Amino acid sequence: MKEYSEPVCVAQMNRFSVWRAKLCAVRILFIALAISIVALSHPRASTAGPFNSEYFELDNGLQVVVIPNHRAPIVVHMMWYRAGSADDPVGKSGIAHFLEHLMFKATDKLEAGEFSRIVARNGGQENAFTSWDYTGYFQRVARDRLEIVMELEAGRIRGLVLDEEIVRPERDVILEERSARTDNQPSSLLAEQISAAQFLRHPYGTPIIGWRHEIETLNHEDALAFYRRYYAPDNAILVVAGDISAAELKPLAEKYYGVIPAAGVPPRRRPEEPPQISPRRVSFTDARVAQPSLTRSYLAPGHGTEGGDSVALQVFTEILGSKSTSRLYQALVVERPLAAWAGSSYQALALDTSRFYVYADALPGVSITEVEAAIDETIAELLLNGPSEEEVASAKGRMQDAVVYTLDNPQSVASIFGNAMSVGLSVEDIENWPDRVAAVTRERVMAAARAVLRLELSVTGILLPAEEG
């Protein structure tokens, strides 16, 4: 089954998945000032960094990154397009995710489903994902099967074939997916409403999978229009990680991808969100909810937001709510206790203004009002007095250690590069990220946190059992 996701590795964010994503998604850690990527005619090693990546660009604009890892004879092949659900046309929400599903149907050379059957016959694994800012497709195969999947992927960059007979049943699949993941999940329904309340105009307020009433109207012409507009080599990033070098990959990339003409994809233009000047609240009551919970979202700078300090804000996130030793967990779970869980998360890798989250689940017999008051008290104290130098150093160390832990997983490494480059970061930004973390000071952490954790920039969502409604 294909999947949709957010930049923090989960779709339709809820409190539990966000925290788990913090543990597994090193991707969200990589944020820095963008450095323009210079087109190169030959593979070039990046500046010294933990990944030892190599970069080159084809004449048609396709950006290519290779991250060698020769510990096993496997490779992960990822094609990322700079187009996601935030690029859905008005009234056509869910079309980016819909197209992701349809990309596994017929091409001018393959019957519907044949792509996946060929990958499976060659012992490979494959899937796809959609975010607000990008759509990605990947295969994990033995090194000697790489050329096979490259030929397959090249065939669907501009050769997709769709008609209503193919589209209609897949639309029903997506409607069922929405029912399972959102409509039947109270926490997902609340998260959807929080996003809609946070973004009054920007498409980050629209669910990645789309609104049900708009999904029901999507057709093959909608999908083809989105495909023709955004799916082209000059709007894509190829990332290959594993048992291969750039010198070995470049001839294959030129053979299969270099012959596809550029399409002159126009720059993404998204509505600007009006300033938020007062706090907003959303509540949702459902009989399926066992214990009250709270999720608060603050507007926060993403990669493309001017004037923000994303790296410092990531350090603050580590201190406030990343693990069981964090301020929120200690205050609400250990010391009082009021909550079964409490934490924070930050979606740094976003093209536009993003979000910072805090969340907690009340213990039985504890009102959500008490939990919210404790959250506010903990945040206020930290913003007033700041973290200790020891807390800052520890947080920075954990963030740098996370890079080391991911080096043995080619798929995780490839995801880091694809995610970051899809929102404008360069190879140098990613390789230099540990140094950028090391340069963060306590003063920068406090300034970044004080700029973001302001109630007038927040939406507070409350999830309640039916009896408390």
For residue 57, give both structure tokens.
């660009």
d(CA 440, CA 443): 8
Tell me the percentage of the chain whose pLDDT exceeds 90.
85
Residue 337: is the preceding peptide bond cis (ω within 30°)? yes
Q: Among 3-17, 39-53, 108-122, 133-147, which is the least confidently predicted range?
A: 3-17
Alpha helix segments (H runs only) across 257-309: none
Look up tokens 């709270």; give the residue: 294
Alpha carbon distance 77, 139 (integer Å): 5
Mean predicted confidence (pLDDT) in 41-65: 81
CA gap 403, 413 in Å, rounded: 9
- We find that the CATH architecture of domain 280-468 is 2-Layer Sandwich (3.30)
Distance (Å, rounded) from C-alpha 24 to C-alpha 8?
Answer: 9
Q: Where are the alpha helices (DSSP H) in 135-289?
A: 146-157, 164-178, 186-198, 212-215, 220-230, 246-256
DSSP code at position 265: P
pTM over cut 0.85 = yes
Region for residue 71 given its phi and psi (left: phi exceeds 0; alpha: psi -120 to 50; beta: otherwise): alpha
Kindly list the domain boundaries of the chain, sorted by start residue: 15-21+38-256, 280-468
Q: Which of 342, 345, 325 is nearest to 333 (CA)?
A: 342
Contact between residue 351 and residue 272 where contact means Cβ atoms under 8 Å apart:
no
**The two three-digit tokens of residue 206, written as one number:** 């629209």
The reply to whether 280-468 shares the fold of 15-21+38-256 is: yes
Contact 446, 90 (CB under 8 A): no
**Which tens digits make up the pLDDT trace of 261-306?**
999 999 988 999 999 999 999 999 999 999 999 999 999 998 767 7
Is a pLDDT exceeding 90 seen at residue 192?
Answer: yes
What's the average model confidence in pLDDT over 115-126? Answer: 98
| Residues with Cβ within 8 Å of residue 407, at least 6 apart in sequence | 50, 51, 69, 413
Is residue 365 scored above 60 in pLDDT? yes
Q: Is the pLDDT of residue 378 over 80?
A: yes
pLDDT band with cut points at 50, 70 and 90 for residue 173: very high
According to the model, what pLDDT value does residue 306 have?
77
Q: What amino acid positions are annotated as catalytic residues?
A: 100
Kindly tell me the burial class for residue 278, based on how many C-beta atoms sit within 10 Å of its own C-beta (0-12, 13-18, 19 or more): exposed
Quote the CA–CA distance of 318 and 23 in Å, as a whole number.
Answer: 11
pLDDT in tens, 348-363: 999 999 999 999 999 9
β-bridge partners, 241: 67, 76
Which of 170-198 are b and which e, b meaning 16 or more Cβ less than 10 Å from the residue's Cβ?
bbeebbebbeebbeebbbbbbbbbbbbbb
**Residue-level pLDDT at 304:** 65
Q: What is the 3-state secondary structure (H, E, C) of 355-409?
A: EEEEEEEECCCCCHHHHHHHHHHHHHHHHHHCCCHHHHHHHHHHHHHHHHHHCCC
What is the second-level CATH architecture of the domain 15-21+38-256? Answer: 2-Layer Sandwich (3.30)
- Residue 39 — very low, low, confident or very high, per pLDDT cuts 50/70/90? very low
Mean pLDDT rounded to a whole number for the chain: 90
Q: Is the pLDDT of residue 21 over 50?
A: no
